[in-house]
Amino acid sequence: MELRVLRYFLMVVQEKNISKASERLHVSQPTVSRQIKDLEDELGTTLFERGSRTIQLTSDGEYFANQARQILSLTDKTVANIHQESDIRGAVFIGSAEARSMLTVAQAIRRLNRQYPHIQINVVSTDAAEIHQHLTSGVFDFGVVMEPLDKSDYDFLRLPGESRWGLLVQNSSPLAQQATVSLDDIDHTKLILPQQGGSRRIHAVFGLDQDDLDVAATYNLLYNASLLVSAGVGNALGLDGIVNTNQSDLTFVPLAPRTSSGTSLVWLKGARLSLAAQALLTQIRAELTPTEN
């Protein structure tokens, strides 16, 4: 299986039409069709459901497309990191939770770019499960994850600062006038929870289980959850400082008793970091080291 064929395949996936994909690739349509057919024969499965005007992926095709994207992403990153001159060049990929502690990493990136302008940093907002998956597969170099987290598979740096948990509510809600959110409030409101750890967080604070909660929706990114709150779907459990509520229709109300989460930068134990990734890690460590007056 050649990387060129994977690129042909993903272009067909993108365009949903072999003729349009051929034009984008500057390759004849019969060549692309033959390569896709040979790929299906090699894999022993059908990747596309052919229609009259567009083609759709089969379930096997969906899985293979996701794997092909990861393979090409890893390949492109590897080639970029190998082709270096005296100046460090390359691409670094960071999977990150939504957290204010990301500011420390951002400051390190700014300083790094001054020293090595040809290093490109790619930040992907995602959750802990996908971060672990992509660190293991080599797609991500680093992850920024919320605590608590089992870090037995990782080397890590604890990032400064903590974020407080609370509810994002409409300004018109009675909860918006309260200083904190109580057990009674949680027990009588529709909730929008993070896909990972939301119900565990409520259980840790109030002792309520998933079955005790009125969950209207779940989310991966708090910005999307804030739109659900604005639409009146429910109130979103999340971290302070992620969504700017100034001059908006939303208010953040912290939980009581107080509960906060810290953040860590993680990378896979035993992973061989590229020079670009090593340079970023060095700069982040420098950000965490107090300067002497």
Taken in order 270, 274, 275, 276, the sign of the CA dihedral is negative
User: For position 288, what pLDDT does the model report?
Assistant: 86
Taken in order 233, 239, 240, 242, the sign of the CA dihedral is negative
Q: What is the Cα–Cα distance from 4 to 35, expressed in whole angstroms?
A: 10
Q: What is the Cα–Cα distance from 34 to 38, expressed in whole angstroms?
A: 6
Q: What domains sit in the chain, N to C, each tagged with a CATH number? A: 3-78 (1.10.10.10), 83-161+262-288 (3.40.190.10), 162-261 (3.40.190.10)
3-state secondary structure of 250: strand
User: For position 293, what pLDDT does the model report?
Assistant: 36
User: For position 92, what pLDDT does the model report?
Assistant: 95
Q: What is the mean pLDDT of each run of 10 residues along the chain (293 residues)?
A: 84 84 83 87 86 78 88 78 67 91 93 92 89 90 88 90 92 95 90 82 80 89 93 93 91 92 90 90 85 42
Helix (H) / strand (E) containing 254 = strand 250-254
Asked whether 256 and 181 are in contact (CB, 8 A), the reply is: yes
Q: What is the Cα–Cα distance from 97 to 143, expressed in whole angstroms?
A: 8
Helix (H) / strand (E) containing 94 = strand 90-96
User: For position 86, what pLDDT does the model report?
Assistant: 52
Asked whether 125 and 96 are in contact (CB, 8 A), the reply is: yes
User: For position 290, what pLDDT does the model report?
Assistant: 57
- Count, in order, helices (H) and strands (E) of the chain: 10, 11
Within 13 Å of residue 45, how many CA atoms lie on the same side as its CB?
11
